[in-house]
Chain A
Amino acid sequence: MEYVPILLLFVLGFGFAVFSVTIAEVTGPRRFNKAKQEGYECGIEPSPQPVVGGGRMPVAYYLTAMLFILFDIEMVFLYPFAVTADALGVFGLVEIVLFIATVAFAYAYVWRRGGLDWN
C-alpha cells in the first residue's frame, strides 16, 4: 500500500519515456541511407568488428566492478548499523571498527597491488 504512489510515478515516468521513444519512429522524417545507418567512426569506414582492441576491454573495468560490489555490501551493512548505533553503544562501536578495519585491509591490499591505478 505504501508503494502505490511510487508505482504511480513509475508508470508516469517510464510510460512517458517509452511513449516518447516510440513516437520518435513516427514523427521524424525517414530518409535513410547506408552512411547514416553505419556506426559513427569520425568519418572513416566503420570497423567490421564493433569492438575495439580485438574484442577485448581493459580488465581494470572488471576490477572496478568487483570493488564496487565489495563496497556496496559494506555500505549496505553500515545503514542498519547507523540506525541502531545508539542502542548498541560501545559494543556496536567495537564491532563496526572491526568490520571497517577488515574491509580496509582488503582495500589496502588492492591499493598496494596497484588495483586502483588507472592508466
Chain B
Amino acid sequence: MTVSVYEEIAFWILGPLSLAGALGMLFSRSAVHSALWLVLTMLSLGVLYMVQDAPFLGIVQIIVYTGAIMMLFLFVLMLAGRESSDSVVEVLRGQRIWASLLGIGLAGLVVAGVARSLGDVTPAGLDNPAANGSGGPGNVANIGQSLFTRYLFPFELTSALLITAAIGAMVLAYTRKQAKGGKNRQREMVNMRFRENTRPGALPGPGVFATADSVATPALLPDGSIAKESLSRIIETTPVTQIEEDEALADRHPDAHALTGAARDGDDGASIVASPASEERSE
C-alpha cells in the first residue's frame, strides 16, 4: 500500500488539528467552546476520510456529525442557558466507574480493530470496481452494493434504531402543555386578536422629536394629541408619575402644542374639545 505525497501532507495537517480539537474539547471552560472544538475534530476526520479515498464516508461524516449531531449538541447547550455550569454531582450511582470501564473497553475494541486491519487484511480499495463484485462504477455505487446486499440486515436494523431515537426524543420532550389546553398557539392568538377587535395591528411606537429621542416619549396623533397606546408602563426608566401625567394629558388634552410645555403649564381648559376618538380610548 503506497501513500501519496498529498495524503501525507494532509495527514500531518489534519491529524494534529483533530487532536487539538479533542484536547480543546476537554480543556475549554465554556460548554459551547467544547462543542466547537469537537466540531473541528469531526471536520478534520471527515476531510481525512476523503483524502483516504473514501469521499462518501468523509462527506457523510461532515453532514451527519458536524451538520446534525453537533447542531443538536449546540441546541441543547443553548437550551440550558449560557451561564449554567456543569453539575459535579453524580446523578446516576456509580456513573463514573461505569463510564471509565466502558470507555476503556471501547478503546480496547478500537485498538484491536485497528491492529487487525493493519495486520491480516488486504485492502481492496473503496474505488475499485471489483472490490465487492458489483462491477459498479466508483465509491458510492460500491458502498450501495455492499450496504443493500451483504449488510442488508444491519441496514434495516438502522431504521429500527431511528425509531427508537424518535420515540426517545418524544418521550423526553413531550409535555402536557404542548398538547391541548395549555398556552395558546400562534393561530389561536391571531384569532383572539381579531375577535377582540380592538387593535389587530401593532401599537404605535414612541415619538421621536427634536426635543427627545427617548422611547419614553409619547407619540402624537395627527391632531397633536398624545396617542395613549404609545405610553408604555414596562419601560423601567420612566417614572410612574411621568406616565400618569402623560396619560391624564392624553385623556383630555388634544392640543397641538402638548409637548412644548406651554400647554402643560397653562392648563386653561378653554381649548379642550373632547374628541370622539379620545373619549372612546378613555373608556
A103 to B161, CA, bound (A): 9
Evaluate contact between B81 and A95: CB separation under 8 angstroms: no
A45 to B234, CA, bound (A): 11
Instruction: Quote the shortest CB–CB distance from A39 to chain B (angstroms).
Output: 12
Contact for A44 among B82, B144, B215, CB less than 8 A: B215
Binds B, one of A17-25, A30-38, A58-66: A58-66
A109: chain B residues within 8 A (beta carbon): 163, 166-167, 170
B237 at the interface (CB under 8 A from A): yes
Binds A, one of B27-35, B174-182, B195-203, B270-278: B174-182
B67 at the interface (CB under 8 A from A): yes
Evaluate contact between A87 and B136: CB separation under 8 angstroms: yes
Q: 0/1 per residue, A68-97, Cβ < 8 Å to B?
A: 111011101101110110011000100100
B260 at the interface (CB under 8 A from A): no
A60 to B166, CA, bound (A): 13
B136: chain A residues within 8 A (beta carbon): 83-84, 87
Instruction: Quote the shortest CB–CB distance from A74 to chain B (angstroms).
Output: 7
Instruction: Quote the shortest CB–CB distance from A91 to chain B (angstroms).
Output: 8
Contact for A106 among B56, B166, B206, CB less than 8 A: B166
Evaluate contact between B81 and A92: CB separation under 8 angstroms: no
B84: chain A residues within 8 A (beta carbon): 55
Q: 0/1 per residue, A100-119, Cβ < 8 Å to B?
A: 00110111011001110111
Instruction: Quote the shortest CB–CB distance from B87 to chain A (angstroms).
Output: 15
B12 at the interface (CB under 8 A from A): no
Contact for B68 among A69, A99, A110, CB less than 8 A: A69
Instruction: Quote the shortest CB–CB distance from B79 to chain A (angstroms).
Output: 5
Evaluate contact between B69 and A69: CB separation under 8 angstroms: yes
**Nearest A residue to B182 by beta-carbon distance?**
A119
Q: Which A-B residue pairs are the 3 nearest by beta carbons?
A: A55-B81, A84-B144, A80-B144
A106 to B172, CA, bound (A): 15
Range, interface on chain A: 35 or more
B interface SS class: helix
Contact for B79 among A56, A72, A105, CB less than 8 A: A56
Evaluate contact between A84 and B148: CB separation under 8 angstroms: yes
Show 11 A/B contacts (Cβ-Cβ < 8 Å), sorted by A. A4-B6, A45-B237, A51-B83, A55-B80, A57-B78, A65-B72, A69-B72, A76-B64, A87-B136, A99-B155, A117-B178
B109 at the interface (CB under 8 A from A): no
A interface SS class: helix
B100: chain A residues within 8 A (beta carbon): none
A8 at the interface (CB under 8 A from B): no
Evaluate contact between B50 and A65: CB separation under 8 angstroms: no
Evaluate contact between B236 and A44: CB separation under 8 angstroms: yes
Instruction: Quote the shortest CB–CB distance from A94 to chain B (angstroms).
Output: 11
A44: chain B residues within 8 A (beta carbon): 215, 234-237
A59 to B72, CA, bound (A): 12
**A67/B83 contact (C-beta < 8 A), A87-B145, A103-B163 known:** no
B51: chain A residues within 8 A (beta carbon): 3
Evaluate contact between B143 and A80: CB separation under 8 angstroms: yes
A51 to B81, CA, bound (A): 7
**A59/B63 contact (C-beta < 8 A), A42-B215, A66-B169, A73-B158 known:** no
A1 at the interface (CB under 8 A from B): yes
A5 at the interface (CB under 8 A from B): no
Evaluate contact between B4 and A60: CB separation under 8 angstroms: no
